[in-house]
Amino acid sequence: MSFTPGRTYTVGLEFEDQTTGALTDPGTVRLDITYGSTLGSGTPDYAGPFSYTGASTPSTTQVYRTGKGLYAYDWPIPANAAPGVYVATWSVGYGGQTLQGEENLWVDAAGLTPPNSGDIGYWTGSITYGSNVVQFGAQDTNGTAWALLKFPGMDGVATDGAVVQRQGDHGGYATPQFYGPRTIELTVTASATSQAERDIARAALQAAVPVSDLATFVLNEPVPKTLQVRRSGVVKEVSATLMDVTFDVLLIAPDPRKYGAPTSVTVIANSQTLGITFPMSFPMSFPAQAPPGAATVTNGGNFETRPTITITGPIVAPAVYNQTSGESISFSTLTLAATDTLVLDLLNKAAYLDGAPIPADLWSAWWVLDPGTSQIVLQGTGGAGAQMTISFNDAWM
């Protein structure tokens, strides 16, 4: 429930004997109202303390009794009260002990709603690790609102390389330079319905950001972008109120590319001879038009992407030729039976035959799919019925 400044609201206490469970009048009753933190944490009273001194009618100056074990106080909230969470702490003396109970009171402001009522921000996305999923820009099943506030690092990526000074001359030599891993810093706020739900949210985010494994981070732009990430350093937490917590999460994406949705293209060869065969002789020429077993694929991003290619037999001396770039990955001594599967992982420049590593020919070039359209050709001999599937994601940098 939320409260509006300038109005008066009743806060109440029900006191029961722990042994009998019956409503019981304690010896003393006191109410303290603090802002943002609990009583005893060094936070001064915002209102009170108010004590029960025998009143039985509604009052804004003291606690009053409404029945056996039932007490209340009418809190006139100042019109200039700051929005946020206030804590009502009831202290009762009973059986020689002082017992305390707390209640969180959300105070609204003009145009402001409680965080758990939909303070989810503008950006949407998610971070997922196994069964641990945190959706940003949404409320979870516990009623906690998750807002993604900032994500620096989703723009540019630092480079790794150097310019070497020319010996005895001005200027330098531009050595090869590459993009390094991508560093992303997320600022996320979780607005829960209670302190207990806030702590559940804290544990959920910590579990979704692994230390030595990779989680999947998605930012929902007009074309959603996906990266594989893990945490770097400490996940920092700041609790502005009892029910709100803001996280600063530093992430590292070893592969700096921002990927779009996955795409697969499959072709089935219907010819006994597919393109060139090995061994090759020079000079040589490649087919100008798409032979059987050719696929046209389009990388809709602005940066090269590395596909995964799966080939099933039968085919002799299979090769995958990027007709657009003029590069080929070949296996001149390999014969694939109809039950064999050859997988080419172009990101890691590795190949696997039925799950076991296998080397490509030394003259192979592990090509990439540049932005735009590329034509990929399955080559080899005796390949009628052989199949090639190219799986990739559009990529941005």
Give the CA distances from residue 119 to residues 139, 188, 330, in Å, rounded to whole numbers and listed in that order. Answer: 9, 12, 55
Mean pLDDT across the chain: 87
pLDDT at 161: 85
Write down the pTM of the prediction: 0.64
pLDDT at 290: 41
pLDDT in tens, 190-241: 998 888 889 999 999 999 999 999 999 999 988 999 999 999 988 999 887 7
Percent helix, strand, coil in the chain (nearest 5)?
Answer: 5, 50, 45
CA–CA gap between residue 296 and residue 277 (Å, rounded):
21
Would the pLDDT of 139 be above 60?
A: yes
Would the pLDDT of 41 be above 80?
A: no
Mean pLDDT (whole number) for 303-332: 95
pLDDT at 278: 46
pLDDT in tens, 253-285: 999 999 999 999 998 875 544 444 445 545 444
pLDDT at 384: 76
Give the closest residue to 333 by CA, choosing from 348, 309, 306, 351: 351
Domains for the chain: give ranges and CATH numbers.
2-107 (2.60.40), 115-256 (2.40.30.200), 262-396 (2.60.120.860)
pLDDT at 292: 53
CA–CA gap between residue 90 and residue 166 (Å, rounded):
77
